[in-house]
Structure formats: C-alpha cells, structure tokens
Amino acid sequence: MKKYEIGLIGLSVMGQNLALNIARNHSISVYNRTESKTKDFIKNKVDKQEIKAAYGLEDFISSLAKPRKIMLMIKAGKPVDLVIDSLLPYLSKDDIIIDGGNSHFEDTNRRLKNLEEKGIRYLGVGISGGEYGALHGPSIMPGGTKEAYAEVADILKDAAAKTDKGACVSYLGPKSAGHYVKMIHNGIEYGIMEILAEIYDYLRKVLQLKPDEMGDVFAEWNQELDSYLVEITAKIMKKNDPKTGKKLIDLILDKAKHKGTGKWSVQSALDLGTAIPTINAGVNARLVSSIKQERVENAAQFDKSSRALVDKKEILSQLKSALYFASVIAYAEGFKLLKTASEEYNYNLNYKEIARIWEDGCIIRSGLLEPIQQAFADNMNLNTLITTEQFKDQLNVKANQLTELISTAAQSGVPLTAIHSALDYFNSLKSEELPANLIQAQRDFFGAHTYQRRDEKGTFHTNWE
C-alpha cells in the first residue's frame, strides 16, 4: 500500500485549502471526523492532486510513511486535546504532530511536554493568510521540536508564500515560540484594523464622504503604504450588495466579533508587564461594539455632537499621517512584546526573520516590514522601533499632525481610540518625566508601599498625616 508523506486532520475551508496547497508538491492523506465532509471535499475540490481520503483513524494513520507527520487544522482548545488523545494509540516513537490552529501558547507548551514524555514530537505552527493564503501560500510560523521541524521543513516551505528573499516560513524557536509569534501577529492585526475603522468613521462622519470616495482615498494611500489591510479596505468600500444594489459596507451591522488571539495578546502583555495600548484599544473597541443595543439607548439620552468644520485636503493629509503613524506604533508594540516574551520564555526569537516571513502571505503584510527588517539588521537588541533611523524622523513629523485631527474628532464626537492611544504611547516613551512620582506618593500615603527618591539611594516611607 502506498505511504503518504503527510496527513492532515480537519477539513474546514482552511484545512481543505491547505491540503490542496500541499498536494501540489507532496502526497497527502486527509481525515475529518464527519465523513460526509471528506467525501464532499474529494468529490468537489480534488482534481488530479495526490490526496488520499481516509474514513477512519486507523486507516488514516496506516496510510502515512514513518515517522508519521500529522497536521491538525482544527478549532483551538479542547478539540485539539481530544484529537491528540484519539491519535495516541496508533502512533509510534518519533512521529510528529503539527498543530496548525490558533492554539494558546501555554496549551502548546503543555502538549509538547506531555507528548515528549511519550516519545512523540510536537510543533506549534501559526498560519496566517486566511482561506486564500492557505490555498495559494500563507505565512507559516513554526515552533517546537527543532529536529521535527527539519523533517517537515520542505513541505512547509513548498506550501508557504514566496518573496525574492525566500519562503515565508522559518523555524522560530523552541516550545510555543511559533504560536506566540502568531498570537502577536494577530494582536498587531487587531490594532491596525481598528486604526482603519477609526479613519473610515472620521471620513464618513466629519468629511461625509461616500463609500466610493473613501475607496478611492484608501486605494491612493496604499500606493505608498502597500498594506494588505488597506488594500482590502479600499475594495470593501467599492462593493455593492447584490440584493439591494446599495453599498454593502452601509448594510453591515456595527458589531465586531473576535476569536481570542487579540485578547490573549493583551493578557500576555499584562502578565509580562509590557504596555501595548494601541493593540489593547483594538480589542476594547470590539468589546464596546458588541453592546449595540446599549449604545443605541445611550445615544438617545445625549445631544448629537456638532460636526467640526475642517479643510478637506488638510484633514486627508492628517488622516494618512495617522494611518502611517499608528500602524508603525502597532508594530512597535508587537515587537516590544515579542522581545519581552523571548527573554522570559527563552524563545531566542530572530525579529528580523519574523518581519521577513510576514512580508507575504499574512494579514499584516505591508511595506513597513522592509524598514522593520533593516532596523533589526542594524540592532537585533533594540528596545523600540520608534528610535530607529528608519522611523524616528517620520514619527516625529506625523505626531505633530495628529493633534488637530484628534481635536476635530473629539469636537465631532468621533472616537479615535487606537490612534489616540498610539500618540499617547509615543509621547510617553519619549517623555523624560512622567507623573508616576505622584502615583508612588499616593501608594505610600494609603498603603505604605514606599518610594524611591531622586536625591538619595534606597527605599523610603513617609508618615503623610
């Protein structure tokens, strides 16, 4: 019986597309718990690719060459544990399990440790690019057992997106390094999506542009920014609803959902004592959007803000600056958190390489990733992107343009939460003096928590009463 190079479990759209992608260069066996989904996939999607359909776990495992390589494309959380448990009776020493879902990094650490004790090798692999990327080439972020990665590297490289610098995949580090990097990728994604949403809100409410006009604005800006998220925003603005002929964006309810990776980024940042306010604003904005009925009821109790009178050309320039500025800050926050996590968890991350594999295939790909690579090539241990020669001068100029924008938004009742957070973060990082001395005095006043002095070494407490 023919033995296949790799197996894949989980035939959702992502799993199906990744299987078809892998099958261009490698033989693959697929399995899904629901048999009808496997049959539909083989009947409707598979043409001449070398894909075997397995309808039982034992058949699936026996179809694979040893050491077996099994990729899981299933929902994060308990389902991953259940599938792993169901596989274990059929596996042998040195077989490799590859979790390609958005698993929490601590779950990945736990699974790797448990499987290592059983002689099974484990890779936590972040995959970004959505359905299109899965089929045509995603950005792939593997971490875990390094020897296991070496055995699947060719398969992942062939499946990944390609640039002139190579395949958008690289071994990132031990344990949960891959899933951690993917989590931060998604956190940055939350931040940039919210930045774009706020600019859209300003364009429609203050400048009162129509969707087609906004689409033109975003498309023009993207000639310089070269951002996937800006590109799709321009296309969204142009899309007509096939049912009504109206612009589809105007018919979509303003309640944003989330799957948890953005929240996990914020939770991890708090655990590691690292500020990521722009990313945090992206998460908070989705939470506020979800209470639609409450917002409608609240709005009825307040007078509507009067629209600020602005110069359209000048404001469009300011909005473009805000998009660049806040996007750079979102990346800066993400890489700062990656640096902190790498030191805490001994990932030994290569930040230049992370920026390289994000250049294509993934959701946050943009022209900003090339100067980010240059910045880390100059100094792999830099503390923040804001002080690098690639960004410092631009950020300083654009920060000065944001104050009027934020003022007119406030006058018009338009929240710019992420953009404002980005500016405050920038101003905080370049502030020699912050008011934390008052906070320490307050803490000492009510809780005797002590403080340090500017003029003497040591720790002090005062009887403030």
State the pLDDT at residue 50: 81
Domain 6-171 has CATH 3.40.50.2300: no
SS (H, E, C) 291-330: CHHHHHHHHCCCCCCCCCCCCHHHHHHHHHHHHHHHHHHH
Q: Known binder of ligand: residue 173?
A: no
CATH superfamily ID and name for 182-430: N-(1-d-carboxylethyl)-l-norvaline Dehydrogenase; domain 2 (1.10.1040.10)
State the pLDDT at residue 353: 98
Tokens 């142009």, located at residue:
238
Active site residue 2: no
The active-site residue, picked from 189, 194, 198, 359, is: 189
Q: Known binder of ligand: residue 13?
A: yes
State the pLDDT at residue 258: 78
Q: Is 46 helix (H, G, I), strand (E, B) or coil?
A: coil
State the pLDDT at residue 54: 94
Q: Which of 416, 370, 341 is nearest to 176 (CA)?
A: 341
Active site residue 189: yes
Q: Known binder of ligand: residue 14?
A: yes
Does the predicted TM-score (pTM) go above 0.85? Answer: yes
Residue 199 contacts residue 323 (beta carbons within 8 Å)? yes
Strands 28-31 and 51-54: parallel
Domain boundaries, the chain: 6-171, 182-430, 435-464
Q: Known binder of ligand: residue 240?
A: no
CATH superfamily ID and name for 435-464: 6-Phosphogluconate Dehydrogenase, domain 3 (1.20.5.320)
Please check whether the two domains, 6-171 and 435-464, share a CATH topology. no
State the pLDDT at residue 85: 96
pLDDT (tens digit per residue) in 372-421: 999 999 999 999 999 999 999 999 999 999 999 999 999 999 999 999 99
pLDDT (tens digit per residue) in 240-276: 999 999 999 999 999 998 778 899 999 999 999 999 9
Regions of the chain where pLDDT drops below 70: none
The active-site residue, picked from 52, 175, 182, 339, is: 182
State the pLDDT at residue 62: 95
